[in-house]
Amino acid sequence: MVSIYIVLYCIVHMYHEDTSATFFAHIICTYLYHIHIHITLILTENANWLKPKQSKMKLMSSDEEEEDVDEFGGGAANDESSDDDDDDEMLEVERQSRLLDAEMKLEAQEASAELQRTIAQQTSIYHLPTIEEIADDENRVVPPSELRARIEDILEVLADFKNRREEGRSRSEYIERLGQDMAELFGYLQELVDYFLDMFGPNECLEFLEASDKSRPLVVRVNTLKARRKDLAAALMKRGVRLDPLAPWSKVGLKIYESTVPIGATPEYLAGHYMLQSAASMCPVMALAPQPGDRVMDMSAAPGGKTSYISQLMRNKGVVIANDLKPERQKATVANLHRLGVRNVVTCCYDGRKLGAQMRNSFDRILLDAPCSGLGVISRDPSVKVQRTMPDVLRCGHLQKELLVGAIDALNHKSKKGGGYMVYSTCSVAVAENEEVINYLLSKRDVKLVDTGLDFGKLYLCMSSLLVVGPTLNSWPRLFI
């Protein structure tokens, strides 16, 4: 107020020549001076009223003393209440930040403990069970979790055998124990697991056994002689079937996930619009690539899935000879061919080993999906685990060699239609039924291997110690679908 008064007084002196301005400034200064005096009197009269009362001052001082006591010597209850007050006064962002910090601290502690545990496991020496401990296991039921843990421990030892092995124990002892645990865990005959270990190795053997226990989705092949895949898919979905196209490499396959009706009893199935057929069984026919007008033979045709697919690709033109040794099996072949509308197939029941002499140089293309042990389709038939033995595998391998030689003799290598091709396939992973059979054929007939033309699946070059082949076959990998 005094400052305003001084400024106005200065203005008066600056404009003293102007009478009207001087008069007006004098009036304002006088007015402000009176206001200043009035405010000063009010503040002086009410000075006591503006001060806090003595009782309120005492109350404020007692609260401050209690706070000091709580700060320096208060109990847990007061601390909790203060913490609660802090939490209530805390912003939501701050509360979330504190929770996040606590979670990060807990995760860091768990990670540290896991690191220490991993270091201890990777540097510890695994104790292989002794003869006495093995005898004790035979008298009790070992839980699957214990078997799986022991398998994983042995695999870790084999991965770093020099540092993890027990003193005085050989690698063969660990492999033997591993095979016994795998056979017990997955329910195989011991000789089959030993064969898989020799063929694949420890880690791949475990992967194979686990994969063989997984179920495969149901697959159907659309019969393009009667229907289109789009129309069939729409019809099945209306019946409550959940499905998808099989894969980019197949234009006729449908993969069934779930169905409210039996897939093998729908009106579309009875009308021959599709055939129940696995994805892997389509591949040999695709590799054969039959052309309309060819003369083709399916040496082991029953129950007709591959034969009908051959006719489908040939558009019912040409001739297909569907042969199978057992007449009772051919009944299913004939029924499926009639249902699917196939008209260019002739069925017969001959010994495939003698067809080479009876029909020499007669066919442009031949498919031999040979009888086998079924070691590659255990997920479809788990009984193979306990019903197949190594003598069965060797017996199948011998039969396959005879059939393969007969098929080569029946093949016309001078076909004017660009033929002279034969596809050999099995449902087994055994070396004795695959690489050894092909190696035998290469040594008995003047043939050469060609690419299948299939650009999908996983290639696997079998480097097993069981495989002793020439340089020609050693560079050809397997194809797993």
Catalytic one of 29, 283, 396, 427: 427
Distances in Å between the Cα of 340 and the Cα atoms of 84, 226, 326 are 78, 8, 22
Annotated catalytic residue 396? no
| Residue located via tokens 């201890």 | 120
Of the candidates 424, 399, 400, 394, the residue with the CA atom closest to the CA atom of residue 411: 424
DSSP conformational letter for 364: S
Tokens of 270: 């009875």
Dihedral sign computed on CA atoms, order 203, 205, 207, 210: negative
Distances in Å between the Cα of 69 and the Cα atoms of 59, 62, 74, 75, 78 are 15, 11, 6, 10, 10
The H or E element that residue 254 is part of is strand 253-259
Write the CB contacts of 123 (distance below 8 Å, at least 6 apart in sequence): 163
DSSP conformational letter for 362: -
How far is residue 408's CA from residue 137's CA, in Å, rounded to a whole number?
A: 53
CB 342 within 8 A of CB 316: yes
CB 223 within 8 A of CB 308: yes
| Residue located via tokens 């087994």 | 428
DSSP conformational letter for 4: H
How far is residue 461's CA from residue 439's CA, in Å, rounded to a whole number?
A: 15
For residue 86, which amino acid is it? D
The three-state secondary structure class of 19 is: helix
The number of beta carbons lying within 10 Å of the beta carbon of residue 333 is 22
The three-state secondary structure class of 212 is: helix
Quick one: the chain helix, strand, coil %, rounded to 5?
A: 55, 10, 30
Query: Active-site residue numbers?
Result: 427
